[in-house]
Structure 1
Amino acid sequence: MKILKFGGSSVATPARIQSVIDIVKPLLATDVAVVFSAFGGVTDSLITMSTLALQGNLEYKTKLNEMEKRHLEAVRELINIQRQSGILAQVKFMVNELEDVLHGVYLVKERTPRTLDYVMSFGERLSAYIIAEAFKDRGHAAEFLDARKVIRTDSHFGYAKVDFEVTNKLIGEYFKHHPEVQIITGFVATSEGGETTTLGRSGSDYTAAIFAGALRATDLEIWTDVDGMMTADPRKVKKAFTVPQMSYEEAMELSHFGAKVIFPATMQPAMVNKIPIWIKNTFNPTFEGTVIHAESKNGKMIKGISSMNGVSLLSLQGSGLLGVVGASMRLFATLARENVNVILISQASSEHSICFAVENASAARAKAAIEKEFQYEIRNEEIDEMPCDNDLSIVAVVGDGMKHSPGTSGRMFSALGKNGVNVVAIAQGSSERNISAVIPQVDAAKALNALHEAFFLSDRKVLNVFLVGTGLIGKALVAMVNEQFAKLAKENRLEVNVVAVANSRKMLFNEDGLPLTTAIDSLVKEGEDMSMQAFYDKMLSLNLPNSIFVDCTSSPDVTAFYEAILSANISIVTPNKKANSSSMEDYRRLKATAFQRGAKFLYETNVGAGLPVINTMNDLLLSGDKVLRIEAVLSGTLNYIFSSFEAGRKFSDVVKEAKAKGYTEPDPRDDLNGMDVARKILILSREAGLDMELSDIVVENLVPATCQGDISIDEFMTRLEKHDADFEALRKQAADKNEKLRYMAVLDGGVVKIQLGSVEGKHPFYSLSGSDNIILLTTERYHDRPMVIRGPGAGAEVTAAGVFADVIRIGHYAK
């Protein structure tokens, strides 16, 4: 015997009902019975009708007419016209009966739980009757069975308890005398007094399990609208996938904490009789789905991650609890009297506090009752006033494989911590099948995704990137991500999901990731007005795991948000030097915030574009070395200018050439004034451990006095020509000594100087060409022969490459 159950979404339309008949048809030659829910949305509609009637609102009649029309149209589409009249009459008869009940509610302004159960029963009674007639219409030996005939319960209306001894006997006797395929109403039953009861929302699953248990079925199939039990809620975790098999206990744990695919009570009759439960998809009938049975066989440590929103956490705490026998009994007896369901309990070994989670709707009632019960202890300050935190969620990782497997909780809380999810309370049962954590509800989706990655995609990480700045560096970065996407996924198990791009005017977001080939063009066409505050607010509202903010601007308005971004546990990658070269106090605060929040703040490209300068120096310092002296050519622009400034060439022409090639800032004075180099050596000095401000650095400004001030770029270039002779004299003076001009920054003895000087042929700076940078690090270990770091120090491509490397570095940390 096989029992099948189809949910409301599976029979929402006549077309879906026909698909269900096609699924059942091959099984009709075997022993099979089928349980049906009401048509999709009908139960909710029935509750709404009764509420409107209770309120004296005649709108209930309109909704009743809509429901009647829907069922009559289903008959007309599913049943041959020659057989329709009698079936239509029966449907109208049931609807008229429902109308009488609703009219009674309307008149007396009373709706008891018993009445509500009776009203809700019409959904299943109508759907199963119509579907049974549709089977008959296609020549199948089917019979409508109103489950109220055979399922007996107590009178706990809304969630009746089944009398299995009587029910099993009635079902067995009924099936002995009814060989036809039974089309059964889910959800409904009858009390000992002959009154209609219901088995709770989603009770049709339970109905199917009751019949499966009574008939000792070989299989129970629950047909729904998903491909089985998923590793997580696919609406919140897009990479969730089907679990092929799990144990009854695992399924019960998951369904308790929010997995709505299967009703928890369904497992009880199946467990007793060891009947496998199959979860299958009506919309994808060839997919095997999930089988739930006695043992978990595939060896996976975790089978699923689920969550429950709308939770409040209350704590009974105080010195008066220490060693006091009976406090827990009084607490939970009080909650039981108030019919408050306790979802989770946690107590520290100190016995100083007991915290427990309840639904938000019960929190105020629970708090008032407990404070009344312990009023004398509270008055005597033996117990504190009861705190109550609302709007929390419970996330739970579930799996039989957790038992005796060290590291599960470590992996769980590491994933939450790295994503800035605060854990308010923790509970783990002795079965070691479930670890639950109470967290802020706003972080639930992020937590689920982080945990899903940690347990099911541990070899793969998705990095959610928010990019501000779509100039040369930003564009080069997006192109690199696009070019390297497949390779990163294959070799590094990283997916870089560019969620947002923005420039000074527009911003564009897509939680699923922007198409990289068109992202910047789409920004111009489709973007909304940009402000850094709006960008920050939107980034926080998405609350995505593994979020990285990438700043490819030189704007202080953007760096002003760094502390807030880091405080939100969002890592930062940036070539923007403004933050780290601002005041020493701000520099320290950003570093401290990143450390305290566990976020990464990476700025390798602040100094040498793609050169590994800061990381190398930090590694030396971490290993116990000490920086004694730094000599550096830190401007690729100025090195290009002075490397190209040879005999026969005018200095102003070389500057124009550098500007035309994109090596300089739009205004070359921003390079020639030396402030860019000053910021870079300041950052290196601070990384080396010195307390230093930008004002402490002596900088030689290469912009002649007559070229300074509020003049246009064109005017500056014209005036610069008048100083070609001065620069030629400096070049010739160096050449006469067989030396070359270099614009150098030197840190020595805690003092930094930046100036134009000349170097001899043996000096490492002599052979520099193009836009290369070079840094000489003299340390206690590299004393006689300084460490040399050399390479391209300017250009969008190399800078973008350095930014990209920092993003990937964060990805490896997130693992």
Structure 2
Amino acid sequence: MHRCDMTQIFKFGGASLRDADDIRHLGHLMADFPGRPLVVVLSAMGKTTNALEALLDAARGNDEANYRERLENLRRDHLAIVGALFGSKASPVAQRVEALIAELDQHHRTLAKHARPFHYDQTIGFGELMSTTIVSAWLEASGIATRWQDARRLIVTDDCYQAANVDWAATTERLRELAWDDCRLLVTQGFLGGTQDGQTTTLGRGGSDYSAAILAHCLEAERVTMWKDVPGLFNADPRRFDNATQLEHISYAETIELAWHGAKVIHPKSLAPLQRKRIPLTVRSFKAPRTPGSTIDADPRHDGDVPIVILREAQILLTLYPRDFALMDEAHQHDILGHLVRVGVHASMIDSAAMRVSLCLDRPTGRLEALVEALSADYRVVRRNNLTLLTVRHPDDGLLEGLSAGRDCLAERRNADTAQRLFPGDQCPESWHLPT
């Protein structure tokens, strides 16, 4: 890097890229940052990744009619956006989108018999490839000097498909090799990386946030801004709590706690690369870019200013009892946690007593069924479904009791700064109110 040192990384998620109007709005937003070198990281548009996962299932299931219909829907939807943006001048961009659809189809034809994780990573990122192709062309046509860059050639990873690990040194070297002298805005894909030998990898669902953090870390950026469909971070989900309040400032550590407990804040892996370089992250409104947003950085002074409430639904409670009437001591708990690690299941809450251990887990998956089978060999397992886990950071007793009123507490855990209670899901409303 020379005279155009990188200073900011912008990331736009799928909710900010639903249609042509959103892309026009993105262009206006970029025009407000003239002369400032930027990297823009984009997710796939709207629900494209979900559609690509369904396409993958159809390809692997040999469901030709379903596969063809889904592929055509992807093609039609993206070309409709191209047409709305470029009108009669759409041909070059449309041709690039058509070429990507043809490449995607060819990958599915040749990879359907490979292991699913490998097949997944070679095909699922075409949503990001199409969104960045369209957006970079629109920015260039709008007079913003833009360069499209393939993230598969920037972020170097191992071959752990669907959850690739970053080679930080190699990624830093790749980025430093880029010519930054032209000061063009660089547009690249979130979620994607690549091995040293050129195989595409992904960083896990929601990994576009992580992509922005990786680039910021390696480029020693001044700041990362996540542009979302909300004005910032809140002390409760504003779609569920009618009196949620915005958080102006929280620390990296507090944000990691919230993500650990299930808050849909920032991809959990995103914070460590930023924390190591002390790079602040701001969450701002895509629709109202002049509003201040919420900032995450190293300063913990505002952590705990207000309680923060997290709901985690469709939970499963497994309560384990020893078959031989033994105490559930450290050895038994070590064994139980080992089972969780081996099958790759995260416990949202663990509550233990002398003769039982209770595990609160996410909704059923194949891995959960494997866990129950393994535990049943040594323990009596009682299972309850359709539960809601309430987590409150920095609780006060009045708030906790108000949120619990009229609900049966099936399990509870509390320490100095976090309280959790588990309720039957049918006792929990769609709309909540924070007691004051």
TM-score by length of 2: 0.90
Partner residue in 1 for 2:21: 15
CA contact (8 A) 1:220 1:276 kept: yes
Partner residue in 1 for 2:412: 426
1:358 aligns with 2:361: yes
Cα distance per residue 1:43-96 (max 9 Å; x no partner): 1111111212222222221221222122223333334755x4333222211110
Equivalent positions of 1:295-374 (< 5 A) are 295-298=299-302, 300-318=304-322, 320-322=325-327, 324=329, 326-348=331-353, 351-361=354-364, 362-372=367-377, 374=378
1:60 aligns with 2:30: no
Gaps of 5+ in 2: 1-6
Gaps of 5+ in 1: 379-384, 403-407, 459-815
Question: Within 2, Cα distance between the matches of 1:23 and 1:321?
Answer: 64
Pair member with larger Rg: 1
Partner residue in 2 for 1:246: 250
Superposed displacement of residue 23, structure 1: 0.8
Superposed displacement of residue 366, structure 1: 1.9
1:410 aligns with 2:397: yes
Q: Which amino acid aligns with 1:426?
A: E
1:275 aligns with 2:279: yes
Partner residue in 1 for 2:82: 75
Equivalent positions of 1:221-620 (< 5 A) are 221-298=225-302, 300-318=304-322, 320-322=325-327, 324=329, 326-348=331-353, 351-361=354-364, 362-372=367-377, 374=378, 385-398=380-393, 402=394, 408=395, 410-417=397-404, 419-429=405-415, 432-445=416-429, 449=432, 452-453=434-435, 458=436
Q: Which amino acid aligns with 2:412?
A: I
Partner residue in 2 for 1:102: 108
RMSD (Å) for aligned C-alpha atoms: 2.3
Partner residue in 1 for 2:4: none
Count residues in correspondence. Answer: 426
1:181 aligns with 2:188: no
Cα distance per residue 1:113-162 (max 9 Å; x no partner): 11112211100011112111111112222100111111112222222222
**Greater relative contact order: 1 or 2 (C-alpha under 8 angstroms, separation 6 or more)?**
2
Structure with more helix by fraction: 1
Question: Within 2, Cα distance between the matches of 1:176 and 1:220?
Answer: 19
Superposed displacement of residue 323, structure 1: 7.7
Relative to structure 1, the CA distance from residue 370 to residue 175 in structure 2 (aligned partners, 3 Å threshold; closer, same or farther) is farther
Question: Within 1, Cα distance between the matches of 2:99 and 2:204?
Answer: 26
Question: Within 1, Cα distance between the matches of 2:118 and 2:34?
Answer: 36
CA contact (8 A) 1:55 1:109 kept: no
Partner residue in 2 for 1:508: none
Among 155, 159, 169, the alignment partner of 2:163 is 159
Question: Within 2, Cα distance between the matches of 1:72 and 1:18?
Answer: 16
CA contact (8 A) 1:232 1:305 kept: yes
Secondary structure, in 3 states, of the residue corresponding to 1:246?
A: strand
Q: Which amino acid aligns with 2:193?
A: A
Question: Within 1, Cα distance between the matches of 2:330 and 2:249?
Answer: 44
Superposed displacement of residue 38, structure 1: 0.8
TM-score by length of 1: 0.50
Relative to structure 1, the CA distance from residue 303 to residue 273 in structure 2 (aligned partners, 3 Å threshold; closer, same or farther) is farther
Partner residue in 1 for 2:46: 40
Partner residue in 2 for 1:136: 140
Cα distance per residue 1:734-781 (max 9 Å; x no partner): xxxxxxxxxxxxxxxxxxxxxxxxxxxxxxxxxxxxxxxxxxxxxxxx
Question: Within 2, Cα distance between the matches of 1:186 and 1:204?
Answer: 4
Partner residue in 2 for 1:461: none
Question: Within 1, Cα distance between the matches of 2:381 and 2:303?
Answer: 43
Question: Within 1, Cα distance between the matches of 2:102 and 2:182?
Answer: 29
CA contact (8 A) 2:328 2:356 kept: no
Superposed displacement of residue 164, structure 1: 1.8
Question: Within 2, Cα distance between the matches of 1:370 and 1:193?
Answer: 41
CA contact (8 A) 1:309 1:393 kept: yes
Question: Within 1, Cα distance between the matches of 2:328 and 2:209?
Answer: 45
Equivalent positions of 1:712-727 (< 5 A) are none
Question: Within 1, Cα distance between the matches of 2:328 and 2:24?
Answer: 65
Question: Within 2, Cα distance between the matches of 1:299 and 1:112?
Answer: 42
Question: Within 2, Cα distance between the matches of 1:421 and 1:173?
Answer: 59
Question: Within 2, Cα distance between the matches of 1:227 and 1:236?
Answer: 16
Secondary structure, in 3 states, of the residue corresponding to 1:170?
A: helix
Question: Within 2, Cα distance between the matches of 1:428 and 1:152?
Answer: 41
Equivalent positions of 1:692-711 (< 5 A) are none
Relative to structure 1, the CA distance from residue 412 to residue 238 in structure 2 (aligned partners, 3 Å threshold; closer, same or farther) is closer
Cα distance per residue 1:267-311 (max 9 Å; x no partner): 121121121111111122222111111123346543521111122
CA contact (8 A) 2:164 2:202 kept: yes
CA contact (8 A) 1:416 1:422 kept: no
Q: Percent identity at matched positions?
A: 26
Superposed displacement of residue 179, structure 1: 3.5
CA contact (8 A) 1:397 1:435 kept: yes
Secondary structure, in 3 states, of the residue corresponding to 1:125?
A: helix
Secondary structure, in 3 states, of the residue corresponding to 1:153?
A: coil
